[in-house]
Amino acid sequence: MAIILIGALLTVAGVVYMAGATLRRGRLSGPAPAASDRPMPHLATPSPTLEPSRRGLGFLGLSQNWPGLLMVGVGLILLLSVAIL
């Protein structure tokens, strides 16, 4: 029973870690911060919108999310090991 609890906690903690890491990287509703040599992207409307003109999927990268992915992976392995045995 303890292995199931640890596996479930690791899986949930990994998902929460990845969500928190995404939120710490900056505003989701504004354009990505531009370097000083690049011009700011133009928005479709003059006021800030919830849909930025360009925002990459960099928040899904492996280099930023590896601790969360590791926690989810170990949690799933623990859950599957109990189900198989």
CA distances from 54 to 31, 47, 77 (A): 6, 15, 37
pLDDT of residue 22: 79
**All structural domains of the chain with their residue ranges:** 1-25+64-85
pLDDT of residue 15: 95
Is the distance from CB of 12 to CB of 84 less than 8 angstroms?
Answer: no
Is the distance from CB of 33 to CB of 26 less than 8 angstroms?
Answer: yes
pLDDT of residue 45: 55
User: In order along the chain (85 residues), what is the average pLDDT of each group of 10 residues?
Assistant: 94 93 69 54 57 59 86 96 88
pLDDT of residue 48: 61
